[in-house]
Amino acid sequence: MAASLEERNEGAVMLTEKTRETIDHWVAKFPADKKRSALIQALMAAQEQNGGWITAELTEAVADYLELPPVWAHEVVSFYSMFFTEPVGRHKVNICTNISCWLNGAGDIVEHAERKLGVGLGGTTEDGRITLVREEECLAGCCGAPMMVVDGHYHENLDTEKLDAILDGLE
């Protein structure tokens, strides 16, 4: 017999009502016996709730809420680069370093961003404004190489001037 909503929430005390509603929205899209299919979106909601990064406790709270073994949730968090297990800046900048972008100057873009922000890949500016996400694999914007994703928004055909304008516009 499935656990009641109250029992599920007891193990997921850390999940806000908004996060649980988001998870429930995704769970409803799949057959009742396929809750695992909503795991990535559930973890994304928990990460958003926590200011852009996810703790081991939140990861386990999501697994408990979905009635899944915690190891399944930990596997997802450790596999995908979109999950952050340490605090991040208010803005996340992902510069693609895959072959198409690299051949079109991504290396120079990365170096320029590191110099401008004063942090290396994986670092966060002292003011907590920007995290320059570790090297990113293909972001599926090859036709606009070099490109980057800032807070989920694509920026293509980058050069150093365009990069400066984008970074300077982040508050």
Predicted confidence (pLDDT) per residue in 89-137, tens digit: 999 999 999 999 999 999 999 999 999 999 999 999 999 999 999 777 7
Structure tokens at 52: 């852009």
Domains and CATH numbers, the chain: 5-79 (no CATH), 91-168 (3.40.30.10)
Determine how many CB atoms are found less than 10 A away from the CB of residue 171.
6
Q: Give the pLDDT score at 2.
A: 47
Q: Give the pLDDT score at 136.
A: 72
Structure tokens at 151: 């807070």
Read off the pLDDT of residues 38-81 as tens digits, 9 standing for 90 and up.
999 999 999 999 999 999 999 999 999 999 999 999 999 999 88
Structure tokens at 116: 């401008």
Q: Give the pLDDT score at 81.
A: 82
Assign 155 to helix, strand or coil: strand
* CA-wise closest residue to 82 among 156, 158, 134: 134
Position with higher pLDDT, 156 vs 138: 156
Question: In 28-55, where does DSSP find H-type helix?
Answer: 39-49
Position with higher pLDDT, 152 vs 154: 154
Residue 155 amino acid letter: H
Interstrand relation of 130-132 and 148-150 (parallel, antiparallel or unpaired): unpaired
11, pLDDT greater than 90 = no
- Name residue 150's beta-bridge partners: 93, 153
Report pTM.
Answer: 0.76
8, pLDDT greater than 50 = no
Measure the CA–CA gap between 46 and 59, rounded to whole angstroms.
Answer: 8
Assign 119 to helix, strand or coil: coil
Q: Give the pLDDT score at 10.
A: 53
Q: Tell me phi and psi for residue 81, to 5 degrees.
A: -70, -10
Q: Are 54 and 85 in contact (CB under 8 A)?
A: yes
Over residues 20-36, mean pLDDT: 96
